Structure formats: C-alpha cells, structure tokens
Structure 1
C-alpha cells in the first residue's frame, strides 16, 4: 500500500508540473533528504541545508543588509542551481511593522520588470510567528524560468526583518526541488 501511495503522489506531481502549485502544496509534500545543520558564525540563526550544498557567509548584497547566507546546489546538466538565501536587513521607508514592510515590497514586486507572474502572496503560518510570503515566477536568459518563494518575518529588532528565499528552475523535478527547499527553510531558527 505504501508503494501505491508513493506512485499516486508521483503521478500527481508529474501531471501538475505545469500547473500552479501553492505554498501549502510544497509545505505539505513530505520528502526525506539528507541535511547539514549550519549556524551563522555569530550564532544569530541556524538552518538545515541539503547536504553537499555550498554556502557563503557573510553574504551582503547592499547597504541595508545586516547579515546573510547564500546557499546553492551543484549545477544541473543545464547549469541551473537551486538557491536558498537568508538575509537580515533594515526595512525600507521606515516601516516599523511587518505588514507595512510586506505591502511596500509587494508594490515593488508588482512593478519589477523580470517578474512574469505573482502566483500568490499573503500571510502564512509556515513559521511559529507572524510571517508573509511572495510566490513569484520570473523569466531570465541566464537562469531559465525561475519560481521563487520569499518569506518575510520579524527579527528581534524593530524595523529589521528576515527575508528567506527559495528559488529553483522549472524542470521536470521542479515540484520535488521546491518542496525540498521549503522544508529546508522550515528549519530556520533565530537563535539570538
């Protein structure tokens, strides 16, 4: 019976590969994979990354970033990688609460030229605290067609937030890869 259930799940995933999947689908898909626990050097946070992934700390993209971690899989046959990014940053425009920061970023995403579709966005209960998410698709010559899920959560400082990002290309293993990324992000813990 167990093998039959796995077979049905695989048929479902294959048949839905071109349909919109929701954050809930990815969160509830159970997949076992080997992980390695990584703590940020200053013990700010920890996360379980897929084993054998490369990661870079600190990872700073701009002057609003306080700290960050960039992790990626080995490139697939076409050179594409799965990516997890964690950033702690100062909010824009003096936003002092998470919902205001979410609304500000949603407007930016809606006007971003490389975003081809906002699949879904809103509040979520994926973490044990208030959180918001953006689920978007982009088209890029260098990175293929990407699907990206960002989570926005509070840090322990007013006006400072964490942005947790999962990104993968739309390949035949897309649903499994995104589910794995979401499960990895669900292990994120603020330690300080």
Structure 2
C-alpha cells in the first residue's frame, strides 16, 4: 500500500482536523509522514519508530522547517508508555503490526493493546494487514479485554487481493461484554463488519458503515 493510499484512508475517517493528534506507529522512512503533515497542517503528526537511524533521518529531513507539525519520537509500538492514555485522535499502522505477527502473535497483541489505550473514545486505528485477523489474535486481545468495532474496511486497487485496510473504533470498557461470542465469517474469525456500504477513496475502495 502506498503512502498516498494510506493517507487517503486516514483523511476519509475525518479525524484530520486542525488540533488533532496523529500517531504513526512504526513510521519507517515512509512518505506517509509527509503526506499526513501536508493534509492537515493544523494537526500534530507524531512519527514513532524503534530505529535510531530512522528517527535521525526523519529529523534531518524536517529540520529545514518543512512539515513543522511533525514530531519524531523513538518508541516501540508494543510499549508506548511515553504517551498518555487517550491522547490521540488517530493511530496509523502501515504494516508494522503485520511484521510483528510474522514473528509471533505474542508480539502483535501488545501493539493492538497500546493503540487501544492511546486512542480517545472518538479516535480510530487505521491498520493494514494481510486478510482477516486470525481467531487466536482476536481471542488473545479479548483475554486482555481489548475489543474493536469495524468502522470501515476495504482493499486498495493494485494491491495483492488479501491486503486489507481496516478502520477500527476502540470498544470502551463500559461497552465490553466478555460473554458475547466472537463472530465468524466463512470459517474465518474476524471483526464484525456487517451492514457496510462501499465508498471510493482515491484509487481504492473502502467499505464504510
């Protein structure tokens, strides 16, 4: 997924207004940092990565005053205790969580949990992954009382067919019901995405409630 596609999906969530705080978890050297900064100059874009080299390169790139609303911070997507709970309007994961899953689900679950903690009640997580999340991942999150509602989902044109972008709203503790079974679709365990309608987001298609 390109930086332009990811930025377009974030823009579609309508959480890029002036005064918003946006966290890119595992920013790498992606141009999505610059795209989001330009889309909403009145927002604060926090680009976070575990690599000292990536952070140094990002700071050097923005040192001339361009994209002055970008803050680079070293951090681990699995443990972002340097940020306060409920302090972001949008968290973007452009492949970092999928990379953690390639190691093990035990590495990926904390990243989802941290994003859940950091988001405001009205905030969303935009995450890009390969297909639906597996049942074990959802169960591990539910064991930690972390649940999500799908606000939108879809695929981007030109990307392999099993690459899916999800816009997830954090389910609050007061809404959480551990006795409600996780929903199944076509033998795959996934987030509930019923009653979705399709809308076009630049080159891609996003299904939105």
Please confirm whether the aligned pair reaches a TM-score higher than 0.5, indicating the same fold.
no
Higher share in helix? 2
Q: Higher relative CO (CA 8 A, sep ≥ 6), structure 1 or 2?
A: 1
Higher share in strand? 1
TM-score, scaled relative to structure 1: 0.30
TM-score, scaled relative to structure 2: 0.29
